[in-house]
C-alpha cells in the first residue's frame, strides 16, 4: 500500500520471543515496520547503533541479562533522541516509580489486545512530539481523534492515517495542496491525503523552508525548480501564486 519509507520503524525489546513475535505481527498489521526484536538490553543497543532511523522502541521492563528495561530506557534517553514505551505486567508501585524516573512516553500493560497496542504507540508518538512523558500508567486510554493528527518528530512529519501514523520526511515534501477540508501532501514519489486543514500541517512545518504561495498551496522553497509569470515549477507540477502572496514569494526568487 504505502512504501517502506513512510512507515514508522519500531524496535521491540522483549525476552519472551513468542510474545515479541505476536506484537510484531500485530504492529505489522497496523502498518508499522518492525526493525527487529531484541531479547536483551545489549542487543537492543546494538540494534539502535546500527539502525539510526528507528523511530520508537518498545521495552519490556523485565529483561534477562544484566540490565533491565528501565536501564536501557535511561541509555536511550541519554544517547538517542527517540521515544520509547514500556511493556509490563506489573502495576507494582516500586517498579512504576523507577519506570517513571526515566520518563517513558507510554505504558502498555499485559495482557493487551490489538487496540491497546495501537493506542500505546500513538500515545508515545504524541507525547514525544509535545515532549511530555506519560504520567498515567493505568486507566482508560483511547485513540487520538482519527485522521486529524500531525506530529513533527525530528525531520519527519507523522501523519495519522486510518489508525496508524505514517512518516513523511520533511525534505521530501514538494508542496501541500488544500482542497476544502482535505489536504494533500505531495512528495517526490508519493502523495498523501489527509482530512486535516492546510493550516494545521503548515504549523508543524519549519517556516524557513515552507512558504504559503496561495490560499491552497504551501511549497518547499528549496525544491522550487523555476517560475514563469505567476506560476512556480516544482517537479512536474505548476502551482499558481496568488496576488496577496506574490510579493513575499518573488522576493525570494530574484531574477538575474
Nearest partner of 122 among 130, 98, 72, judged by Cα:
130
Q: Judged by CB under 8 A, does residue 112 bind other proteins?
A: yes
Among the residue ranges 36-44, 65-73, 103-111, 228-236, the one whose residues contact other proteins (CB under 8 A): 103-111
- 178 within 8 A of 172, measured Cβ to Cβ: no
The answer for residues whose C-beta is within 8 angstroms of residue 70's C-beta and 6 or more apart is 61, 98, 99, 101, 102
Site string for other proteins, 33-62 (x = CB under 8 A): ------------------------------
- Which residue(s) pair with 185 in the sheet? 176, 192
User: CA distances (Å), 186 to each of 74, 155, 214, in order?
Assistant: 38, 16, 16
CA 138, CA 140: separation in Å to the nearest integer?
7
Nearer to other proteins, 42 or 109 (CB): 109
43, 67, 74, 90: residue in contact with other proteins (rule CB under 8 A): 90
7, 9, 26, 160: residue in contact with other proteins (rule CB under 8 A): 26
Q: Judged by CB under 8 A, does residue 1 bind other proteins?
A: no
Q: Classify 217 as helix, strand or coil.
A: strand
4, 142, 222, 255: residue in contact with other proteins (rule CB under 8 A): 142
Q: Judged by CB under 8 A, does residue 115 bind other proteins?
A: yes
Q: Judged by CB under 8 A, does residue 64 bind other proteins?
A: no
Q: Which residues bind other proteins (CB under 8 A)?
A: 16, 18-19, 21-23, 25-26, 89-92, 109-116, 118, 138, 140, 142, 163
Amino acid at each position: 500500500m504505502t512504501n517502506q519509507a513512510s512507515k514508522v520503524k519500531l524496535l521491540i525489546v522483549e525476552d519472551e520471543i513468542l510474545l515479541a513475535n505476536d506484537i510484531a505481527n500485530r504492529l505489522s498489521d497496523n502498518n508499522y515496520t518492525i526493525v527487529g526484536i531484541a531479547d536483551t538490553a545489549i542487543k537492543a543497543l546494538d540494534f539502535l547503533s546500527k539502525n539510526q532511523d528507528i523511530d520508537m522502541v518498545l521495552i519490556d521492563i523485565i529483561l534477562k541479562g544484566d540490565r533491565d528495561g528501565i536501564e536501557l530506557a535511561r541509555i536511550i534517553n541519554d544517547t538517542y533522541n527517540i521515544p520509547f514505551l514500556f511493556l509490563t505486567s506489573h502495576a507494582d508501585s516500586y517498579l512504576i516509580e523507577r519506570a517513571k524516573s526515566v520518563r517513558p512516553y507510554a505504558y502498555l500493560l499485559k495482557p493487551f489486545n490489538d487496540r491497546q497496542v495501537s493506542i500505546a504507540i500513538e500515545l508515545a508518538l504524541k507525547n514525544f512530539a509535545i515532549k511530555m512523558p506519560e504520567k498515567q500508567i493505568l486507566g482508560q486510554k483511547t485513540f487520538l481523534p482519527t485522521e486529524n493528527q500531525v506530529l513533527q518528530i525530528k525531520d519527519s512529519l507523522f501523519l495519522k492515517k486510518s489508525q496508524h501514523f505514517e512518516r513523511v520526511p520533511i525534505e521530501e515534501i514538494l508542496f501541500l495542496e488544500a482542497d476544502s477540508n482535505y489536504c494533500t501532501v505531495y512528495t517526490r514519489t508519493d502523495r498523501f491525503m489527509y482530512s486535516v486543514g492546510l493550516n494545521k500541517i503548515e504549523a508543524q512545518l519549519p517556516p524557513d523552508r515552507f512558504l504559503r504561495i496561495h490560499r491552497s498551496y504551501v511549497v518547499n522553497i528549496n525544491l522550487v525548480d523555476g517560475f514563469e509569470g505567476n506560476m512556480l515549477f516544482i517537479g512536474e507540477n505548476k502551482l499558481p501564486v496568488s496576488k496577496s502572496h506574490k510579493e513575499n514569494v518573488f522576493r525570494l526568487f530574484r531574477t538575474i
